[in-house]
Amino acid sequence: METKVFSIKGEELRDITLSDNVFNREVSDGSIYYAVNNELANRRVGTACTKTRGEVNYSNTKPYKQKGTGNARAGDKKSPIWVGGGTIFGPKPRDYSYTIPKKMKRLAMKSLLSLSVLENRLSVVEDFTIESGRTKELATIINNFVKDNKRTILILKDDDVMMRRAAKNIPYLRVLSYNRLSAKELLYGKKVLMLETAATNLNEFYGDK
């Protein structure tokens, strides 16, 4: 498929060929669902922890005698039914992360890129960098494509440190490398800006499989 390459000022420059297998394929909703869920699960810290009745720092003495009081039997104040007692089946530290098949993840990324084209959210921009690392310079370029501070994804051709530095103070902008895409960001991004070389790299990275 053919699409336009824009200058940093938002003007049309030339055409570029994008792989149909990456940018113009049938969208797989199922793979997107599993890829997003996987990313969210892998981000969970899993440090929540509660104490059982065996871990609560409390007295082991019997609060009152077994019989004759009219109350229910009580062995100690660490029982879960007492205030200050332990917790029944509470959370413990655990690892929520898991892996999904590589083919499914690749299918999800290609489906998300195709979906961004289908919904007219994708624009290919000529290669540029922010050598000074200043946020103002990057914000000026982004504003030529995005209005009203919509959630924007910028896909780079490599890990550009100065570009990432410039993007840190733009709250609605997320920066990704072409070989480390995020399913969650691509799904919820209202606008996807892709550098020209990044588009060429994606043709090769995802196009043959």
Summarised one tens digit per residue, pLDDT across range 15-60 is: 888 888 888 888 899 999 999 999 999 999 999 999 999 999 988 8
Instruction: For Cα atoms 155, 159, 163, give the angle at the middle one, nearest 5 degrees.
Output: 70
Mean of pLDDT over the chain: 89
At 95, is the pLDDT very low, low, confident or very high (cuts 50, 70, 90)?
Answer: very high
CATH topology of domain 2-27+101-207: Ribosomal Protein L4; Chain: A; (3.40.1370)
Give, for 176, the enclosing helix (H) or strand (E).
strand 173-177
Owner of token pair 């030339």: 14
Q: Is the pLDDT of residue 83 over 60?
A: yes
Backbone angles phi, psi at 103, to 5 degrees: -65, -35
- Report the SS3 class of residue 202: helix
pTM beyond 0.75: the answer is yes
In which element (H, E) is residue 12 found? strand 12-17
Pick the closest to residue 206 from 116, 111, 99 (CA basis). Answer: 111
**pLDDT value at position 208?**
63
pLDDT grade for 205, boundaries at 50, 70 and 90: confident
Under the banding of pLDDT at 50, 70 and 90, the label for residue 183 is very high
pLDDT tens digit sequence for 158-182: 887 888 888 888 899 999 998 889 9
pLDDT single digits (tens) 127-145: 888 888 888 888 888 888 8
**Domain spans in the chain, listed from the N-terminal domain onward:** 2-27+101-207
Q: What average pLDDT score do residues 108-120 get?
A: 91
CA angle 197, 119, 100 (to 5 degrees): 70
Is pLDDT at 209 greater than 60 in this prediction? Answer: no
Residue 159, pLDDT score: 82
Rounded distance, CA 183 to CA 41, Å? 13
Contacts of 57 (CB under 8 A, 6+ apart): none
pLDDT at 9: 85
pLDDT of 70 > 80? The answer is yes
Q: Which of 113, 117, 124 has the alpha carbon at shortest distance from 28?
A: 113
